[in-house]
Amino acid sequence: MSAQLFQPTSSTFLRNPYSVYKVLRETAPIFFYEGWQKWILTRYEDVNSLLRDKRLGRVTHHLDAQPRQLEGLEAEFEASRIGSLLEIEPPDHTRIKDVFHQTFTPKRVRELGEKVESLCHRLVDTLLEIPERKADLIEDFAQPIPVTVIADLLGVPEADRHQLVPWSKGIIGWFEPERSHEMELEAVRCAKDFIAYLADLIVQKRKQPGQDLFSDMIRIHDTEPARLSEQELINNCILLLNAGHEAVVNVIGNGMYALLRHPEQWLALKQDEKLIPTAIEEMMRFDTPLQFFERYVLEDLDYKGFHWPKGTGLCLYYASANHDSEVFTQPESFDIWRHPNPHIAFGLGLHYCIGAPLARVELQTALRVLSERLPDLGLLDGELEYHPKNVFRYLKALPVRY
Ligand code: HEM
């Protein structure tokens, strides 16, 4: 039954995975998917409790007696992941997270927020110069916001910034379970180029440190190398680009698509900007940009009658949990007034998103500027297409008029 239902490469599933998640939650909330050799979990209760369970981790290699022997592209790509916060567990995770706490401060987030405001206005100014008053809201508005924020965070010079989006897009292809050989080659090429670029930038910033997070991290590495190696420094900056860019673009894309399909809610929001905080949470819940993440069993685990030996892989579906009727009333309805909204689009537990405060500032500012400056914003006719991806859910384009 579950095998027939869960066909992650089918176009029907990719168009609307939520109707499949619903049946899975009701009929097979935990099942083994042969295709990925992993367990699929779709209920809020399970995703929520397993994310907090210390017997699970994002990786298991810290428990191995011998270092892992990877080969080919796997080994080449791994060079960009070693020491990245998302690929480590305590005690290394605690050590690196401490570096982030020292450098990715609330003050820095506030300062970046002020820049986001003027950036959003500049982007709208450019949109208003287009005589036909038609644009792709993703490419022409959503995409430049987080990449500029990350470039500021890392102190990337203006002239080099155009490389960041292609690198990010190439690298994230690796994280798709259905990735092709071409996607792997592209991910490795982008990761290598980005590593080389950041290594050069370190040399420049040592000569001329900036006010940015990257300069602060370099200082920590240079004065206390035991807290942060050069490889950890570089790979965590790669993580910041990938984690900090794609999801924000996709919440704006998926979320504005949902909002503009509900003109009465768009009108209410334009009339009352106090609705913006709950609206962005609903955008993240309703069409979750990162559909699932994996966890691995760190020690043999018995859970609800299943026996999972050490090393077993689980796919925890945050997107499905966010539509569970046990937690959300009328989960298939988009509702910018929804409160409380305990969605788990930012994850939970040890690996909870450290960029959540920054993401919220970006999303709230983007939505406020759009509602103030483009009151006539609406969708152009035609059905929209999602990229055929399983982890990252995002539209190919969001054509709008204004
Ligand atoms: C709406 C936008 C965002 C969403 C939906 C999102 C979502 C997530 C999720 C679900 C995780 C946990 C992954 C897991 O459970 O395995 C995560 C982790 C992370 N995110 Fe975000 N994120 C967003 C924006 C950002 C931003 C703006 C940054 C930084 C600039 C960022 C940096 C990170 C980092 C470094 C981690 C790893 C944390 C750890 O492993 O301890 N994210 N994010």
Over the stretch 220-243, which tens digit does the pLDDT of each residue have?
999 999 999 999 999 999 999 999
Q: Please tell me what DSSP assigns to residue 86.
A: G
Rounded to the nearest angstrom, the distance between the alpha carbon of 263 and the centre of ligand 1 is 30
The residue with tokens 């039954």 is 1
Residue 113 CB neighbour total at 10 angstroms: 17
> Looking at residue 194, which CATH number applies to its domain?
1.10.630.10
Report in angstroms the alpha-carbon separations of 106 from 31, 306, 361, 366. 41, 42, 11, 19
Report in angstroms the alpha-carbon separations of 175 from 74, 187, 294, 390. 12, 9, 10, 9
Pocket test for ligand 1, best of 353, 360, 365, 394 (most atoms within 8 A of CB): 353
Q: How many CA atoms lie within 13 A of 401 on its CB side?
A: 5
d(CA 252, CA 334): 15
pLDDT at 165: 95
Q: How many CA atoms lie within 13 A of 152 on its CB side?
A: 18
Q: How far is CA 99 from the centre of its chain?
A: 21
Q: Is the pTM of this model over 0.95?
A: yes
Residues 239-255 have pLDDT tens digits of: 999 999 999 999 999 99
pLDDT at 195: 97
Number of domains making up the chain: 1
Report in angstroms the alpha-carbon separations of 189 from 181, 215, 334, 377. 12, 25, 40, 39
Look at residue 3 and tell me whether its pLDDT is greater than 80: no
Q: Which residues have any ligand 1 atom within 6 Å of their CB?
A: 58, 85-86, 97, 239-240, 243-244, 247-248, 251, 284, 289-290, 293, 345-347, 351, 353-355, 358-359
d(CA 50, CA 55): 9
Residues 179-190 have pLDDT tens digits of: 999 999 999 999
Q: Domain limits at 252?
A: 2-401
